[in-house]
Amino acid sequence: MNYSTNPILVRYAETDQMQFVHHSNYLKYFEMARLSWLSSLGVSYASMEKEGILMPVVSAKLVFKKPLFFGDEFIVNVNLKRPPMATLEFEYKITNQHQDQICEGQTVLAFLSAENKRPIRCPKILLKLFI
């Protein structure tokens, strides 16, 4: 399942002394895209947390191709690699306004019980969206 964000504008505060977007911001961009994707499916992350379901990132990988700069626009493409079980595995691609590939990445999120912080299976509300 694929999802693409609307164009996002790089803000000045996201850049570093070299005038590049600081590398730590790319994980934030991935998270923004992931939450937007879930919202587009009618899934509220806040509601899941209220129901006692946590989804921490347990693994992340980023590969930088070209930098983003202040004022650039970019799109994050999110792909769910496989139907969820006890984890959600995502792939990301960021492209700028010139269609240049900026960054690729992957994250793995686990499902945890808020009560005991132990792994649980994918909640039915999410599972039914993918099978």
- Reported as a pLDDT band with limits 50, 70 and 90, residue 83 is confident
Q: Tens of pLDDT along 57-81?
A: 999 999 999 999 999 999 999 999 9
Which sign, positive or negative, has the C-alpha torsion 39, 37, 25, 54? positive
* Assigned CATH topology for domain 2-130: Thiol Ester Dehydrase; Chain A (3.10.129)
Coil, helix or strand for 30?
helix
Render pLDDT for 39-53 as a digit per residue (tens, 0 to 9). 998 888 888 899 999
Distance CA 105, CA 78 (A): 10
In this predicted structure, what is the pLDDT of residue 25?
98
pTM of the predicted model over 0.75: yes
Residue 125, pLDDT score:
80
pLDDT at 26: 98
Please tell me the predicted confidence (pLDDT) of residue 45: 85
Per the CB < 8 A criterion, the answer to whether 112 and 56 are in contact is yes
Q: pLDDT band for position 119 (50/70/90)?
A: very high
